[in-house]
Amino acid sequence: MTAAILDGVVLGLAYGLLGVGMTLVYGLGGVLNLAYGQIVVLAAIVASVVMEDGRATLLAALVGVAAAAGVSVLLDLTLMRPVYRQHGEERTLLGLLLTLGAAFVIGGVLTWRYPFGALYIDITGDPVSILGVPMTRGSIWASVMALAVAALLLLFFGGTTFGRGVRSVIQDETGARLVGINPSFVRTVIFALSGALAGVVAIANGMSAPLEVSAGFKLTTFALIVTVVGGLGSVAGAFLAGVLLGVVDSLSAHYIGQYYTIMILLGAAALTILIRPRGLLGR
Amino acid sequence: MLEVEGLAAGYLGERVIDEIDVEVRTGEAVAIVGSNGAGKTTLFRAIAGLLPTMAGRVVLDGKDFTRRPAHRRARAGIAYVPAERHLFPAMTLKSNLVLGAYPKRPDPATLELVYDLFPRLKERQRQHAGTLSGGEQQMLAVGRALMARPRLLMLDEPTTGLAPKIAQVAFEALEGLKSGGMTLLIAEQQVPLALSVADRGYVLENGRIRLSGASEELERNPEVRRAYLGVA
């Protein structure tokens, strides 16, 4: 039981990061990035290729994160421009269609070039006992990384002028423009940030279990669920939801069976929409 | 300081306002008066850059801002307080004020000035903006605009939705700003109140400037008296 819960927390922290990347982009412009999982996979494959080249793991991880951020900026500057020119439902629909297209293109290219591609970062060392449960060093590193990034994000959004500016665009875009904030620039920076987060998720995932080239849509689905449960545009909410869902995921996989997990998680998301449409910590 | 020349703007290709010429000089208070639907908000949105101009120019301190986006105009010193206020509801009152100075850090002296003008804001600085009353939200919107130390403060219907007593207080605050040297452009339906603060006024009707002149002149004008001052 304790083991399952701890595994769930490790898993959940990564889900949290995934959710933050998705929820920020949605909060800022009403676009759900359906290519998000594929960007995670892209970072994983890039990092694994650099590692196979014999480079240091840290360098490979950084290159993977940078690649994901770079591709995200590229998407924002090209594909997303016509999307943000639309408003309301048209924007949402066009955003869904174009990011879905991007998901197929990125996923397709990666599967074609690297059909057996996977990222696994093997961290050697004996398991460490936490609350009497032996945890692999990889899981512990992954959790530490996720927590560190979460702390940085909270500092960034709570304590910096630009971070406040981002929140202001989420709450009232016209108000933000009136105080001198350029929403378009904010969106580009946040798209890049969400790409970098996708990269961190890839690295964190790769430390506890192999991340395979086919994982894209599963990751997007998890990100969507976390976004809905956590509340749109809420960083703290996404982490809380991520950890909760990670624990649910791990417990249900442990006691009920892996195949039902995704249904249980989707059920949790549906229930959230019915009971608390704004999510746990939504605005 | 602000020159609006031959301005036309509107929605979906329709010109709501057209051939608008308005000038505001440094230190002046100017009122745009007119009935509901005359085009006052459209004019303000076009000056602030929230609405694209279809013709004409918007010039601030000799620099043409007609093609510049809203955030550039805000940073150049045009502070627009819309009637709907557009505050950040899930942030504290203080955070709203701090964002008014974006991208700079807020200047403590300016913050004190805002708190002096509206002591209510200081009492409630930790409260979320979404929980404020209408009058407090209006104070916060003006306070946020002042945080940037603007060259020009534009207020759209500052008294809408306020009780008459609070509206009076709001206008007293505007008097205070004006005597402090702030340049003001005010749109109001409540013509007598607006003309009492303003040095000059423009009467907007069906999207065009119908009349303009010094406030006393407009107050004496028989047409204005009949249409807006309720005098037969």
Give the contacts of B182 (CB within 8 A, at least 6 positions apart).
B150, B153
Least confident range from A65-79, A132-146, B15-29: namely: A132-146
What is the arithmetic mean of pLDDT over B79-105? 94
Residue B165 has pLDDT above 90, yes or no: no
Strands B152-156 and B63-64: unpaired
Instruction: Give how far Cα A266 sits from Cα of A30, A261, A272, A273, Å.
Output: 21, 9, 10, 11
Find which of A179, A181, A182, A187 to mutate to test the B interface (most B CBs within 10 Å of its CB). Answer: A179
Q: How far apart are CA B108 and CA B126, in angstroms?
A: 17
Q: Tens digits of per-residue pLDDT, B176-214?
A: 899 999 999 999 888 888 898 999 999 999 999 999 999
Nearest to B89 among A162, A171, A174 (CB): A171
What is the arithmetic mean of pLDDT over A40-62? 95
What is the arithmetic mean of pLDDT over A18-29? 91
Residue B231 has pLDDT above 70, yes or no: no
**Residue A131: predicted pLDDT:** 85
Name the 3-class secondary structure at A35: coil
Percent of chain A clearing pLDDT 70 (strictly above)? 99
Q: Tens digits of per-residue pLDDT, A201-236?
A: 999 999 988 999 999 999 999 999 999 898 877 888
Nearest to B74 among A162, A180, A183 (CB): A180
What is the arithmetic mean of pLDDT over A193-197? 96
Name the 3-class secondary structure at B178: helix
Main-chain phi, psi angles of A33, to 5 degrees: -85, 95
Q: Where are the beta strands (DSSP E) in chain B?
A: 2-11, 14-24, 29-33, 53-60, 63-64, 78-81, 152-156, 183-188, 200-205, 208-214
Q: Closest chain B residue to A183 measured between Cα atoms?
A: B71
DSSP structural state of residue A205: H
Amino acid at B2: L
More confident residue, B232 or B115: B115
The predicted complex's ipTM stands at 0.93
Find which of B71, B96, B144 to mutate to test the A interface (most A CBs within 10 Å of its CB). Answer: B71
Predicted confidence band of residue A164 (pLDDT cuts 50, 70, 90):
very high
Hey, are the CB atoms on A177 and B74 less than 8 Å from each other? yes
Nearest to B88 among A161, A175, A180 (CB): A175
Q: Closest chain B residue to A174 measured between Cα atoms?
A: B86
Q: How many CB atoms lie within 10 A of CB A58?
A: 9
Name the 3-class secondary structure at A221: helix
Select from A234, A243, A245 the least CA-distant residue to A271: A245
Q: Which residues of A touch B82 (CB under 8 A)?
A: 174, 178
**Residue B232: predicted pLDDT:** 52
Select from A64, A5, A60 the least CA-distant residue to A199: A64
Residue B35 has pLDDT above 90, yes or no: no
Instruction: Give how far Cα A55 sits from Cα of A110, A206, B156, Å.
Output: 21, 16, 61
**Residue A208: predicted pLDDT:** 84
Select from A212, A217, A220, A271 the least CA-distant residue to A244: A271
Chain B closest-CA separation from residue A4 CA (Å): 36
Q: How far apart are CA A173 and CA B65, in angstroms?
A: 21
Concatenated DSSP letters for A47-112?
HHHHHHTT--HHHHHHHHHHHHHHHHHHHHHTTHHHHHHS-HHHHHHHHHHHHHHHHHHHHHHHHH
**Residue A201: predicted pLDDT:** 95
Tokens, residue A257: 């069976």
